[in-house]
Amino acid sequence: NLAAPPSPSQQINLGPSSNPSAKPSDFHFLKVIGKGSFGKVLLARHRTDDNFYAVKVLQKKAILKKKEEKHIMSERNVLLKNVKHPFLVGLHYSFQTADKLYFILDYINGGELFYHLQRERCFLEPRARFYAAEIASALGYLHSLNIVYRDLKPENILLDSQGHIILTDFGLCKENIEPNGTTSTFCGTPEYLAPEVLHKQPYDRTVDWWCLGAVLYEMLYGLPPFYSRNTAEMYDNILNKPLQLKPNISNSARHLLEGLLQKDRTKRLGCSDDFIEIKNHIFFTPINWDDLNAKKITPPFNPNVTGPNDLRHFDPEFTDEPVPSSIGCSPDSALVTASIKEAAEAFVGFSYAPSMDSYL
């Protein structure tokens, strides 16, 4: 890539946290391992330190077209805040070229919870409890930073190589939501939307506890609660149909699901004391939370991966796809069009490099 450097008029001001030394050609892009609405996630090896990373590459034009710049910047901000939780994906740094954004993330290869659930149909209660506890711990931590996650679903929940939960994709997070604060953006994934979101009413952090209930229900029963192939019917079920629980789960699981999937958010489990209420629920009595957060509890399922190149838990739909050649290079400055320039200016301050003392 011998393109001339951009002229000063084309240079992008990346703000005080810029990492001008990072660039796509630092990486050897090996495989496509995921896809989103604005780009792809690739397995990449850094050419100098030989470490493996998951690199999320987003097309600026696609983001601007859908007016999603705010979500992308909030994803970056949230990733920067959460560097220190055992069940949240870590961001190493971010950088941009004129037409793309790059997130350099922890590489997690135990597979999506969604993938394992599809293969096994449902989980036994102790396994579902372990996952629900790790997810709740991560959500409780985000809430302590005044962040509401808003998009909990099995596709955003990964397993690491040992079998611990890692939450990923912070694109829909809402920052600065105080304990009693609300927000009102309509967003999320149809199967997991809380009634108050569907009603387009202001909602608060308890929206995450509804989603935890929906995911726990799906782990135990194999389908989300209120599920229907017809979206309108499913929305009607979420709003109006009473929760029905088949008898094959324990009373404590039943009680927890009824508390989390309470349609009235002011009566939902977690509405007054947030994570503490979840943590102290009888369903979680077997969990020692200090051991859980220290990863001292052996996960109930081991993905048995042999190393970073072991892609058995990724959907072949992704891994069979060729790596696009444009991923690893910056656009030639002679080809920087007006639309690329406009895109460049929309993400000022995106780049991030950790300060050296964060390594000490």
Tell me: do 88 and 176 sit in the same domain.
no
User: CATH no. for residue 88?
Assistant: 3.30.200.20
- Total domain count, the chain: 2
Tell me: do 145 and 273 sit in the same domain.
yes
Tell me: do 138 and 278 sit in the same domain.
yes
List of E strands, 133-176: 157-159, 165-167
Residue 58: per-residue pLDDT: 87
325 within a domain of the structure (yes/no): yes
6 within a domain of the structure (yes/no): no
Cα–Cα distance between 158 and 127 in angstroms, integer? 15
User: CATH no. for residue 220?
Assistant: 1.10.510.10
Q: Is the whole-model pTM more than 0.75?
A: yes
Among the listed residues 229, 164, 149, the one whose alpha carbon sits nearest the alpha carbon of residue 197: 149
Tell me: do 204 and 318 sit in the same domain.
no
Tell me: do 181 and 256 sit in the same domain.
yes
Cα–Cα distance between 167 and 160 in angstroms, integer? 10
93 within a domain of the structure (yes/no): yes
99 within a domain of the structure (yes/no): yes
Tell me: do 101 and 119 sit in the same domain.
no
- The answer to whether residue 26 is catalytic is no
Tell me: do 164 and 189 sit in the same domain.
yes
Cα–Cα distance between 153 and 114 in angstroms, integer? 8
Tell me: do 242 and 122 sit in the same domain.
yes
Tell me: do 258 and 151 sit in the same domain.
yes
Q: What token pair was written down for 221?
A: 């029963």
Among the listed residues 220, 264, 221, 223, the one whose alpha carbon sits nearest the alpha carbon of residue 242: 264
201 within a domain of the structure (yes/no): yes
Report in angstroms the alpha-carbon separations of 263 from 21, 197, 225, 260. 50, 11, 12, 9
Residue 51's domain comprises 24-108+307-346
Cα–Cα distance between 152 and 168 in angstroms, integer? 9
Tell me: do 66 and 197 sit in the same domain.
no
Catalytic residue among 99, 151, 169, 208: 151
Which segments in the chain show pLDDT lower than 70? 1-20, 69-71, 73-83, 170-188, 202-203, 330-360
Q: What token pair was written down for 200?
A: 């387009």
Q: What is the pLDDT of residues 253-280, one digit of tens each?
A: 999 999 999 999 999 999 999 999 999 9
Tell me: do 64 and 206 sit in the same domain.
no
65 is in an annotated binding site: yes
Residue 14: per-residue pLDDT: 32
Cα–Cα distance between 29 and 40 in angstroms, integer? 12
Residue 193: per-residue pLDDT: 84
Are the beta carbons of 172 and 151 closer than 8 angstroms? yes
Tell me: do 184 and 333 sit in the same domain.
no
